[in-house]
Every structure is written in structure tokens, then in C-alpha cells.
Amino acid sequence: MTGVDSSAESPAVALESARSPITAAVGRFCLEQVETARDLYRVFVVTLYYSVRGEPNRKAFFRQMYEIGNRSLIFLCIVMGFIGMILVYQGGLQTQRVVPDLSLLGATFLQLLVRDLAASICALMLATRVGAGIAAEIGSMVVTEQVDALRMCATDPIDYLIRPRFLACLSVFGALVVIAAGVAFLAGMWTGYAFFGINPRTFANMSMVGPGDLTIGLTKCVAYGAAIPIISGYCGLTAFGGSEGVGAATTRAVVNSSLAVIILNFVISGTGYLIFG
Amino acid sequence: MIRLEGIAKSFDRAVLTDVNLFVPDQCLFGLIGPGASGKSLLLRMITGLMRPDRGRVTVAGRDVLTLGDLELSEFRKGIGMLFQNNALFDFMTVGENIAFPLRRLFQLDEAEIAARVAERLGRVDLPGFEGRLPAGLSGGQKKRVGVARATIARAPIVLYDEPAAGLDPVTSQKIFDLLRAEQRAAGATVIMVSSDLDRLLTVTDRVGMMLDGRLIFEGTTEEARNASDPRVHQFVHGAVDGPL
Amino acid sequence: MQVETGTRSQPHPLSASVARFLSVVGGLGVLLSEILRRAVRRDFDRAELLRNLYRMGLKSLPIVTVTALFTGGIMVIQAAPIVQRYGAQGLLGWGAGFGTLREIAPLLTALMINGRVGANNTAELGTMTVTEQVDALRALAIDPVAFLVTPRFLSIVITLFLSTIFSDALALLGAAYAGAGFLGVDPGVFYRGLTTGLLGFGDVAHGLAKSIVFGCVIGLSSCHFGLATSGGAPGVGRSVNATVVASAAGVFVLDYLLSFALS
């Protein structure tokens, strides 16, 4: 996921590429992706290993919980509040064009929130805020040789740097999603009342939320909460080249975390639909 | 002891070519040469932080290139390192920085750790700095904290990359004398990279000179001062006229 | 000359945050006026504009493509239970269409472009600032706003606009195929549902107008935070973090206001 490099090639290689330049480029791209995927998988597995077998590092864990949880809360609430208002407003407008009865708007909205939106939007927002933060911190440690100094003190940077962030994000993400979903729902409820005159009691309708929806939503929480710190931590660890490298690593982290969230969303939603209907 | 055989490395161009280096036990070895000649790269290869394209690295009887991750971790417990840019952990205080290797390598109680940290800070002329943050220190102060952190674990092998860069002459001499005394007391094998040749040559046993990625000279300090190779001669004596 | 009169009291953290927030908003406003002045006078470097258009636009294509296709698929999966319940296969095109064109495509494209182009832009400008290249430009009597900032701002706006169009098309394509795959809805039925008349060009225009505003937000924010970087490599990381958060929040707030204003 680092893009195709345009480094100078020796004449022999250039000749080789000249015969089938597109195939060479595609092949190189695919090989890079495979290598990245393999490294990412390794980081994930090693992090899990340290999570279970490593010595506990409570101070770092709580500090990360504060960084990821407390400091994202206001941002998430603002975003989810506006999302709630936008969705109910647009949804109401469009439904009115087809069906005059808006009584199920609240129920549909709640189901959508639980099943998908709360977790996914929070994940996208955290991918930008937390992903950038993690990659920036770890990336600047890499380019100032602090990560090498850690290795020289017999400390694995995955254990010391990524593990606390991974555990903190997993722990805190679910709570953030629940709070944010609540804010979105209340904002939507207000919008429904203010613009369409829907009775809040009618809006607060849980009838369409089933165990399948809850399962899908919770699975997404776990998946996103695990993916974001691993991917951004990996991007941070692979930074190189001074301040430019830190910026590049931060950008990669945001882009790749966001992409991962979208792809995971599709996979989990699709699987969920096939299982639960 | 440390032995490098046939080391070669290139990025876009060759940065190290056929380097053969031998550092006997308990020797204080000075590695000199103009900028970008590959000195820091050699240090990183000895620690396993970088792998050469070709060649073999043997440290204390172990082939570094065959070590797996966990073995590398164990191996590094026996090496202390001072990085060129200090690499102090900027999220920890000075005291925690210096104590970090102790905590990772040994099980000592807090009083013992505090005592050793205070002793180190005293030796590098920074008494009472335990609570300060690296961001608030001058370049020279950061360098001295780096020296304290590199020497606190009394490792059998220590590598110093520019231990006196940015320090005034008096402090520089004190640091060199300190590192020499540490090496004698611990019987450690030391490699020191420095551009301050006059002071470096007062403490070294043997010297090696790098030029354009090759090791062009290896011998005792006396041999370096009286080298027949005009390039070595010019560099050691800091003359302006000559092949360099 | 200041006279110290005893201890200075620290500002309350809340007022410090508010002051910081206001200073950022003020900085953005000033930068916006400077950019617009130069844009109107056509006082910007054309070569830089083309170079940035190429880099930002072309290199974002893969991301926008993947995002749009998957988003279309997700829209269909979300609508699927409702469609199944009411047997409204014919309305799938409409259901996926209006959400996509008016909201989802502009919003998600803006977020992805924010992450890729906005963050990258801030990183570049930030690096140039901390390595004093921007000061060097000023010393050479070259106006950094005209040379660096305005071309980047304009190319972000143009890139987002074009990407949103592209994204609209691809999301609907992805939705059509997901509809065929998950619900067995024939793509032809899907297409008819799109064009029955419940959706009009107004919906497309609604989305595109938003994309222009989002582009302005992202461009402005990324340039501002890039130029205001300080503190070496960690400072660059902090700036990227700040711009990504500020742009995302700005995009959502403006999305709401625009949805309301444009209906």
C-alpha cells in the first residue's frame, strides 16, 4: 500500500520492463501488497502474543485509553450528532416523496445505527484522529532513532509501543460507539420532532432491532477497534526519512485504516446479511 | 571480540565495500574517517539493527546474521550503544531514560536503581537532572545523558557514535577520560566513532580508518600517527594539503 | 517594557481551548481571503497547479475507486432487509441512488480525499516549513501563498469535485452489482429504479455543490496547518493529525448546514 516506486533501474531491468511494462508494474504492485499484508499479519499476531504473554504495562495502557478515548469523545459526539440530524432529515424528506407515513422512521434509523452506522462512522473518524496520532508518534520515534534505542535495550517496539495502544483501543472503542450512537439517536429524535413533527415516543422504537443486528454491530466494534491501532502502528514503524517520512507515514496510516474499515464493513455486513437476513 | 568479514552493502549505490575488521577483546578501538564513509553503518551491523548484503558479522563468538528475533534480543543485552543523535526517549524524564536499560535487563529494587542513576549523572557532570525532560536540555546535555544511559548497564561490549559531538573542550576531555576509565574497569570491548581525533587518539588502543565505504587502515594508535598511506597521514594530522 | 507584578495567573483550560479554537478559525479566515484574492487575480503558478492536479487527482484514483465500489455495496446491503420485507425490488435503485448522490458519495469521497490528499499536503507544507524552505522562498521575494498555497488549494477543490462525480458513478455501479449478487435484483431493474423520476439532476447537483464546499474546507485546513507547523518531525505529525480532525469536523458541520440550506 505504499504505491509504485519510480526508482532508477539498471539497464538490464529497464529492458526487461520495456517488453511488458504494464505487467511488470502490476506484478511489482501485487508483490508489494503481498509483502505488506504478510508484515501486517505478523505485527497482528505478535501483538496478540504480547497481549497474552507479555508483562503488563499499566501506565502506558491507561495513558493510551485517555488519549484514544477521552480525547476523541467530543469530536465523535459532534460528528455523530450531525450525522444523526442529516440522516433523519434526508431520510424523512425522501421517504415523504414515496410514502406519507413517517412512523417507522425512528425504528429504521435505530436499526441502521446499531447494525452499521455507529460503529462504522466512529471507526472512520477514529481512523483519521487516532490513526494519524499513533502513526505520527511512532513515526517520529523511528526517525529520531528512539525505536532503535528501544531495540538495543532488549525491548521489542511492538510490545512496548503497539500493544498498549491495541489493548486500549479495543477496550475503549465499544464504549465510544455506544455513547456516540446515543448522541446520534437523540439528535435524530430532535430532528424528527422539529422538522417532521414525529412524536419522540414514536421515534424511540426498538421493534426493528434484532439480535442479529446487535451481533453484527458488536463484531464491527471489535474488528475496527483491532484493525486501526495495528495498521497505524505498522505504518508508524515503517516510517523513514526525517520529517517528510513522518508525514508520509501519517498519511499512509489514515488512508489504510480508512480503507480497512470500509472493506471490513462490507465483509461483515455482507456475511451478516447472509446469516441473519 | 568483534569480527567483520567481507561486509558489503548498497542502497542506490555501494556504501560499504569488502570491509574486514577485527577488534580484540578488551580493546578500545577508534573508528575514524570523513563523513558518509560508512562508520555508523558498521556500528548498526554489529548490533544487528542492519543486515549487510554480503559478509559475516561475528560478535563474542556468535554469528549475528543467524540470530532469530528472540535471540537477537538476548544478544543485545550484552551491548551498550550511544546513538549519534542521542535517541533519548522524549516521553520519559532524564532519570527514567537512564534507568531504562537497568529495568529491562536486571531485577533491581527502586533504591538501587535511583542510586546508580544518580551516580551516572554525577559522573557526566549533570547532578540532580533526574526530573528534567529531554526537550528542555541543550545539545551537549542530551549527549551526556546519552553517555550515562549507554554506560549504566556495564555491558561487555559498548559502541559510541560521536560521544563528544557538540561539547566544549573541557567537557569533551572529561567524557573521553570517563569512557576510558569505564572500559578499563569493566574490561569491556569498545568501538568509538569520533571526529575529535586529537582527543580520541589519546584513549584508543587500536584505530581503523574508513574512506568511501572501505577500511583503508587498521592498526595500533602509534601506527596510525606514523602511517605511510598519505590519505591516513593527512586525515590523522588534520592537514589541508594532501589527497583528501 | 513589562513590569512583573508577582505571580502570573494561568488561564483557565477552557478559555485556553476557546482561544486556541478562535485563533485557528481566524487563521483560516485570513488564509482564505489571501487565497481568494490571488485566485481572482489569476496570480498563481500554473505549473504548480498542473503538477498538483496530476499528483493529487491521479494518485487518489485507486482509493476513490475502491471506496466508491464498496460503499455502493454497503448501501445495498443496508437497504436489503427493507427491500425484502416490502418486496420493493424496483425501488432499490431509488433507495441506493438518493442516499448515494446526495450524501454518501460526497461525504465519503471527501473523507478519503481528506485522509489521502489533505494529510499529504499538510505533511509536505509542514516539512517545507520546518526545514525553512518557505522562509527561503520569501527571502527570494517569491510569494509563498501565490506559489505554493493557491495552486494546492485550487487543485484540491478540483480534485474533490471530479472525484465525487467519478465516485457517484462507481458507487451506483457497485450498488447494482451488489444488488444482483445479494438480492438477485437485475441491473436493468436497478437502472430503471434510478431514473424513474423520483431522482433528478437536482440530487446530483446537490451532491456536487457539497463537494465544492468540502474541497474548500479540506484545502484551506490542510494548507493552514501545514504552514503553521513547528517543532521538527513530531511537529509535522501533530499538524497532520490536527488538519485531518479539523477537516473532518468541518465537513460534517457544513454537510448538515448545506443539506438544510439546499433543500
Question: What tens digit of pLDDT does each residue of C151-165 get?
Answer: 999 999 999 999 999
With a CB cutoff of 8 Å and minimum separation 6, the contacts of B213 are: B14, B15, B16, B17, B19, B37, B38
ipTM for the whole complex: 0.81
List A residues 1-30 in contact with B (Cβ-Cβ < 8 A).
7-8
User: Across the interface, which of A145, A148, A154 has its CB nearest the CB of B104?
Assistant: A154
Q: Highest-confidence range of A97-111, A155-169, C90-104, by mean pLDDT?
A: A155-169
The answer to whether the Cα torsion of C139, C145, C146, C150 is positive or negative is: positive
Residue C8: band (very low, low, confident or very high) from pLDDT cuts 50, 70, 90: low
A152 to B88: CB separation less than 8 angstroms, yes or no: no
Pairing of the two strands B54-59 and B28-32:
unpaired
Closest alpha carbon within chain B to A8: B12
C240 to A144: CB separation less than 8 angstroms, yes or no: no
Q: Reply yes or no on whether the pLDDT at C127 is more than 90.
A: no
User: Same domain for A71 and A31?
Assistant: no
User: Same domain for A89 and A179?
Assistant: yes
A42 contacts chain B (CB < 8 A): no
* Structural domain includes residue A151: yes
What average pLDDT score do residues C189-213 get? Answer: 79
Where are the extended beta strands (E) located within chain B? 2-10, 14-23, 28-32, 54-59, 62-63, 79-82, 157-161, 189-193, 206-211, 214-220
The domain limits of chain C are 48-262
Share of chain C above pLDDT 70, in %: 89
A254 to C115: CB separation less than 8 angstroms, yes or no: yes
Local structure of A250: helix, strand or coil: helix
Residue A10: band (very low, low, confident or very high) from pLDDT cuts 50, 70, 90: very low
What value does the CA radius of gyration of chain A take, rounded to a whole number of Å? 22
The answer to whether residues C114 and C251 touch, using CB atoms and an 8 Å cutoff, is yes
Contacts 24+ apart (CB under 8 A), B115-121: B116/B152, B117/B148, B117/B152, B120/B148, B120/B149, B120/B151, B120/B152, B121/B94, B121/B148
Note the pLDDT of residue C7.
54
State how far the Cα of C93 lies from the Cα of C173, in Å rounded to an integer. 11
User: Same domain for A32 and A47?
Assistant: yes
Q: Which residue has the cell 584513549?
A: B203
To probe the interface with B, which of A140, A152, A240, A243 has the most B CB atoms within 10 Å? A152
User: Side by side, which strands form the sheet with B14-23?
Assistant: B14-23, B2-10, B54-59, B62-63
* Structural domain includes residue A131: yes
Contacts of A184 in chain C (CB under 8 A): none
* Amino acid letter for position C106: P
User: Same domain for A137 and A256?
Assistant: yes
Contacts of B90 in chain A (CB under 8 A): 144, 146
A145 contacts chain B (CB < 8 A): yes
Q: Reply yes or no on whether the pLDDT at A232 is more than 90.
A: yes
Note the pLDDT of residue B138.
86
User: Same domain for A62 and A48?
Assistant: no
- Number of cross-chain residue pairs from A and B with Cβ atoms under 8 Å apart: 46
User: Same domain for A130 and A258?
Assistant: yes
List phi, psi (to 5°) of C261: -70, -35
Q: Reply yes or no on whether the pLDDT at A12 is more than 60.
A: no
Q: Residue C213 corresponds to which cell in the numbers above? A: 464546499
User: Same domain for A33 and A107?
Assistant: no
A155 contacts chain B (CB < 8 A): yes
Local structure of B107: helix, strand or coil: coil
Domain boundary among A54, A76, A94: A54
Pairing of the two strands B206-211 and B54-59:
unpaired
A247 to C124: CB separation less than 8 angstroms, yes or no: yes
Rounded to the nearest integer, the mean pLDDT of chain B is 88
Phi-psi region of B114 (alpha: psi -120 to 50; beta: other; left: phi over 0): alpha
What average pLDDT score do residues C230-253 get? Answer: 85
User: Same domain for A48 and A70?
Assistant: no
Angle, CA of A74, A131 and A165, to the nearest 5°:
90
pLDDT in tens, A24-40: 888 888 888 888 889 99
User: Same domain for A39 and A133?
Assistant: no
State how far the Cα of C227 lies from the Cα of C145, in Å rounded to an integer. 10
Parent domain of A47: 6-54
List phi, psi (to 5°) of B81: -140, 135
Name the pTM for this structure: 0.81
Note the pLDDT of residue C36.
87
Of A49 and C185, more confident: A49
- Regarding the domain delimited by B26-35+68-237, which CATH topology (the fold level of the hierarchy) does it fall under? Rossmann fold (3.40.50)
